[in-house]
Amino acid sequence: MNKLETTNQDLVSVIIPTYNSAGTLIRAISSAQNQTHQNIEIIVIDDGSDDDTEDILKDYIVKNLITYIHQENKGPGFARNVGIKKSSGQYIAFLDADDYWDSNKIEEQIKILKNNNYILCSTERQNIGNESSFITNGGYTFGLPAFLFSNPVTLSSVMVKRDILIKAGLFPENRKLDAVEDYDLWLRMFRYGPMYHINNAYTHYQTRRTLTRREKIFYTKKVLRVFRRAVRKNSAAYSVLFFIGYMFVWFKYLSHIVLYFLHI
């Protein structure tokens, strides 16, 4: 049987791509190992790191605590897809190497995905270094409208049903979509069913530095590529909605360019 068609009941495959993140990788892996839902497999895809990533993972590899895959640097979309194709779980959870989870994250998401028709479950996040003990109960259903003006989902908070992920076509592997590859995928997944967001901040997220104005221009240009792809690949009704999102991002792109040249 094709590996992509093989599943294990209630097994969660945790996909951790890493690139030169030896300093935080063990923390991420430990947070996956310490989940209250113990039926998990952890797959680490080393995307061409030149730090000591492989050295710090030797014990995990020898003891079969993780599946370790090393490849030449091909980008985050390609790396995650390698992990997905290697996985066996009915559910897929994504975790970046510099983020980590609370111990009950997977358990709470399993409850949502098993007992409802949701295809994806995300959680609120707390920024590492700025955590609080404030907890909000409940959550809400969301779909395409939530994605038209921004990406509301933190990738490291996401768990998805594997069969839906395969139907949607996995992450794009075009390096021009690095940093927005998840946005592209979510815009293809919405048609398969509703999504659910848990208000509790079970995900701890390593904030990146603030983008410069020039970097914002390049990032927004990537988002424009995502929406152009969505307009081309969807029916007329959906394409109209994606075009609205495209125009919103286009005006944002122009504003960044104007502010850049005005040195604001």
Give the chain's length.
264
- Rg of the chain in Å (alpha carbons): 19
Helix (H) or strand (E) holding 16: strand 8-18
- Cα 246 to chain center, whole Å? 22
Distances (CA, A) of 224 to 8, 177, 230: 38, 10, 10
Concatenating the DSSP letter of every residue in 110-141 gives HHHHHSS--SEEEEEEEETTS--------EEE
Paired residues of 101 in beta bridges: 203
Residue 129: predicted pLDDT? 78
Q: Note the pLDDT of residue 3.
A: 46
CB neighbours (10 Å) of residue 185? 24
For residues 133 and 80, the answer to whether their CB atoms sit within 8 Å is no
Per DSSP, which regions of 24-132 are E strands? 40-47, 67-71, 89-94, 100-101, 120-127
Contact at 8 Å (CB) between 120 and 210?
no
Per-residue pLDDT tens, the chain, 264 aa: give them: 344 544 567 999 999 999 999 999 999 999 999 999 999 999 999 999 999 999 999 999 999 999 999 999 999 999 999 999 999 999 999 999 999 999 999 999 999 999 999 999 999 999 987 666 555 667 999 999 999 999 999 999 999 999 999 999 999 999 999 999 999 999 999 999 999 999 999 999 998 778 899 999 999 999 999 999 999 998 898 999 999 999 999 999 999 999 999 976
Hey, what are 16's tokens?
A: 């951790």
CA–CA separation, 1 vs 8, rounded Å? 13
Q: What's the token pair of residue 252? A: 């944002």
Pairing mode of beta strands 89-94, 8-18? parallel
Residue 231 in tokens: 């307009």
Count CB neighbours of 124 within 10 A.
Answer: 17
Q: What is the pLDDT of residue 6?
A: 44
Take residue 49 and report the two structure tokens written for it: 């790191």
β-pair partners for 204: 100, 126
Give the whole-angstrom CA distance, residue 200 versus residue 250: 33
